[in-house]
Amino acid sequence: MASVQIQVADPNGLSGSVIQQINHGLSTGALFLNHRRALRARHTRLISEFGGLSTPMPNFAAIYMIATLSSLGLPLLNGFIGEFVILRARMKSTSSTWRGPLSALFWELLPSVALPARDVWSGHEPANEHLPDLNAREYATLLPLIILCFWIGIYPKPLFRVLERPVQLIVEQVNPDTTGGARSCARNKCRSDSWRNQHTMPAMDMSGINRPPIRHRTTSRSALGRPECER
């Protein structure tokens, strides 16, 4: 979705693309940490063996679900901000390629919500009844990611403010036909003309200067025919 929007060179869409890449690192990072925690607790990769994890590990299940919903773009979480800005900028363009990212987002809902609901929040596996919940080190690793997910989803204005100037420079370079690009070209032309005026020497008026007459040395043909010692 982020790569699709970069092709449009829209300032809002580019800002959303950058924020979406940050969101992807946060949500998938939390998901991978949770998956590693579950694998270390059960020593198996079979999804069917993780039924009922929410009963012995409620905090693990809650963080896992928040990271999953963040990846899906639930409102009040970071994924919603990036996807909403990207889709909004894409729909404003004349192209109809926004339908592809929207359909991909729809089909992403099925495995991301159905699998946790079936295996983590429901079902019963006797081997999972006595699994330990998260420890202090795991809380220290996962909670900052969850806090950042909520912070970007609730108040993303600082990120947009930081990205405003770099994104505008990219748009001016890639698409100079825009208002910002035209303004930048005019500004660069003014700077070039100013530099040329400062470093170009003015033309001198030579009309009032008295030049001495140029005397041409003439040599007769007889002198040229004689040896040097006889001249």
Asked whether the predicted pLDDT for residue 71 surpasses 70, the reply is yes
Percent of all residues in the chain with a pLDDT value above 70, rounded to a whole number: 59
Q: Is residue 205 part of a domain?
A: no
DSSP state of 201: P
Q: Is residue 104 part of a domain?
A: yes
Q: Is residue 192 part of a domain?
A: no
Residue found under tokens 């773009």: 73
pLDDT average, residue stretch 134-149: 94
Q: What is the mean pLDDT of the chain?
A: 75
- Domain that residue 116 falls in: 2-180
The whole-angstrom separation of Cα 19 and Cα 212 is 76
- Contact status, residue 20 vs residue 72, Cβ threshold 8 Å: no
pLDDT average, residue stretch 134-161: 94
Give residue 73's pLDDT.
84
Over residues 86-110, the pLDDT tens digits come to 878 777 765 555 566 666 666 666 6
Look up the pTM and report it. 0.67
Over residues 10-54, the pLDDT tens digits come to 788 888 888 988 999 999 999 899 888 888 888 888 877 888 888
User: What does the buried/exposed string (b/e) look like for 40-70 if buried means 16 or more CB atoms within 10 Å of the residue's CB?
Assistant: ebbeeeeeebbbbbbbbbeebbebbbbbbbb
- Contact status, residue 31 vs residue 64, Cβ threshold 8 Å: yes
Expressed in percent and rounded to 5, the helix, strand and coil fractions of the chain are 70, 0, 30
Q: Is residue 28 part of a domain?
A: yes
* Angle in degrees, CA 12, 17, 23, rounded to 5: 125
pLDDT average, residue stretch 123-148: 89
Q: Is residue 79 part of a domain?
A: yes
The whole-angstrom separation of Cα 224 and Cα 215 is 19
- The larger pLDDT score, comparing residue 79 to residue 196, is at 79
Q: Is residue 63 part of a domain?
A: yes
Q: Is residue 11 part of a domain?
A: yes
Give residue 149's pLDDT.
95
Give residue 103's pLDDT.
66
* Angle in degrees, CA 160, 161, 162, rounded to 5: 90
Q: Is residue 94 part of a domain?
A: yes
Number of domains in the chain: 1
Give residue 55's pLDDT.
86
Both tokens assigned to 91: 């729909």
Over residues 191-224, the pLDDT tens digits come to 545 545 555 555 555 555 555 555 555 554 555 5
| Helices and strands (H, E) in the chain, number of each type | 9, 0
What phi and psi, each to the nearest 5 degrees, are found at residue 47? -65, -30
Residue found under tokens 């039924």: 51
Percent of all residues in the chain with a pLDDT value above 90, rounded to a whole number: 21
